[in-house]
Amino acid sequence: MCGSEGLINILAILPSPEDRAALKAIARQSGWSLGIAEALRPARPLIDKQPAGVVLCDCRLPDGGWQDALRELQQRRLEPLLIVVSRLADEGLWAEVLNLGGYDVLATPLEPREVNKSVRLAWQHWQNKLAREKRGGKVIAAGSRGWWP
pLDDT, tens digit, for every residue of 105-143?
Answer: 999 999 999 999 999 999 999 999 889 888 875 544 444
Domain span including residue 57: 9-134
Is 16 contained in some domain? yes
CATH number of the domain that residue 47 is part of: 3.40.50.2300
Is 147 contained in some domain? no
The 3-state DSSP class for residue 125 equals: helix
Under 8 Å between Cβ of 9 and 51: yes
CA dist 119 and 123 (Å) reads 6
DSSP state for residue 1 in the 8-state scheme:
-
% residues pLDDT > 70 (the chain): 87
Is 141 contained in some domain? no
What is residue 137's predicted lDDT score, i.e. its pLDDT?
Answer: 57
pLDDT tens digits, one per residue of 1-10: 344 445 899 9
Average pLDDT, the chain: 88
Number of structural domains, the chain? 1
Percent of the chain that is helix, strand, coil (3-state, to 5): 45, 20, 35
